A = this chain, B = another copy of it.
Amino acid sequence: MPVSIQDVADRANVSISTVSRVLNRRNIVNQETRKRVESAISDLGYSPNVFARGLMLRKSHILGLVLPDLHGEFYSEVIRGANLRARELGYNLMISSIVAKDDGSELMAAVGDHGLVDGLAVMISEVNARTRATLEKIKIPLVVLDGDVDGVKHDSVVIDQRTGVVALLRHLIEDCQARRIVFVGGLETNIDTIERLDAYREVTADAGIEVTASDVHHLDYQYDTAFELGVKKVREWARRRAAVFAANDEMAAGIIDAALAAGLSTPDDLPVVGFDDTRVATMTRPRLTTVRVPMSSMGAAAIDLLCQRIENPKRPAVKLSLETELVVRESCGAPSAITS
């Protein structure tokens, strides 16, 4: 059933070598011969066998993308960006998900098909010794997304969260007169939470804002848990004239709703800001002041880096940092909120 290069060769009265040459646009093939071969190809609807080709060239034109879970807008946007760019560059995309708190075994399994993919983009939300060890075993072009794993030489795409947090909190402090800021983050081991918390501590310290242990909360990035926390805390926070910096929009939404449930209003009684600028950021009332994270660009950048390395394996490792953007809406209580 499948038509092979031999069939094409027979129909065009040439050898398979010539067909191969036409296919690969190399060496010189006579105009007429090429025409004959080309029409034979289209007549037969021939397309080269991927495996035979891969066997010879040791290239599959498949890129792997490994993500922790596949929930939510963040991941789907990364996939979208990666997919589009991969297509542009003539690659296919293979997706695998691993659980967020992976001990390395899932990562290993997902990565198992070395030799199938020409390169691998891996996003790890928690870096530990196991994942590190697994990454080191990977011998094909590798890009680490949203996390720089020390001790492993590889390309990486990170988001410049620090700048985003700084802009966001400065806005809260300078434009919204916040004198106290509560931090609501994800798990303490989460890579994004760590970065955002660091930046938070830095900005507050700079501004002379006191941060006590009870000002820092570690949840799980979900609306519900943030809501629960909020139910217990919003009155106290409001009393202390604090603003809330949630490390993602979902949690910010949970806090806003908890405040509302407690009879408080945002931003008057309790300013709240989020992070990521996902769909929920414009669904809350008031809408969220947040930081836009270039999610799909991240996917695209990863693919770019991967392809560059495939073409030039010797190139020194690159760390690409993507800009974020402060998006001011109403939840922060800024006097002149910019509509966006």
Binding site for B on A (CB under 8 A): 1-2, 47, 49-52, 54-55, 58, 60, 62, 69-73, 75-76, 79-80, 83-84, 87, 92-97, 112-116, 139, 253, 279-280, 283-285
With A92-B96, A95-B93 as contacts: A72 and B76 at CB distance below 8 Å: yes
**Are B60 and A70 interface neighbours, CB within 8 A?**
no
Task: Choose one: B50, B71, B84; the contact of A115 (CB below 8 Å).
Answer: B50
Task: Choose one: B47, B73, B115; the contact of A49 (CB below 8 Å).
Answer: B115
- Chain B neighbourhood of A80, CB < 8 A: 69-71, 97
Determine which residue in A49, A93, A283 has the highest number of CB atoms from chain B within 10 A of its CB, and name it: A283
- Chain B neighbourhood of A285, CB < 8 A: 285
A83 to B253, CA, bound (A): 29
Residue on B nearest A282 in the bound complex, by CB: B223
A116 CB to nearest B CB, Å: 4
- Chain B neighbourhood of A116, CB < 8 A: 50, 62, 92
**Are B113 and A50 interface neighbours, CB within 8 A?**
yes
Task: Choose one: B1, B47, B79; the contact of A76 (CB below 8 Å).
Answer: B79
Residue on B nearest A59 in the bound complex, by CB: B51
Residue on B nearest A76 in the bound complex, by CB: B76
**Are B253 and A283 interface neighbours, CB within 8 A?**
yes
**Are B70 and A79 interface neighbours, CB within 8 A?**
yes
Interchain residue pairs with CB less than 8 A apart (21): A1-B139, A47-B115, A50-B116, A51-B54, A51-B55, A51-B115, A55-B55, A69-B80, A70-B79, A70-B80, A73-B73, A73-B76, A76-B76, A76-B79, A79-B95, A84-B97, A92-B96, A93-B96, A253-B283, A279-B279, A285-B285
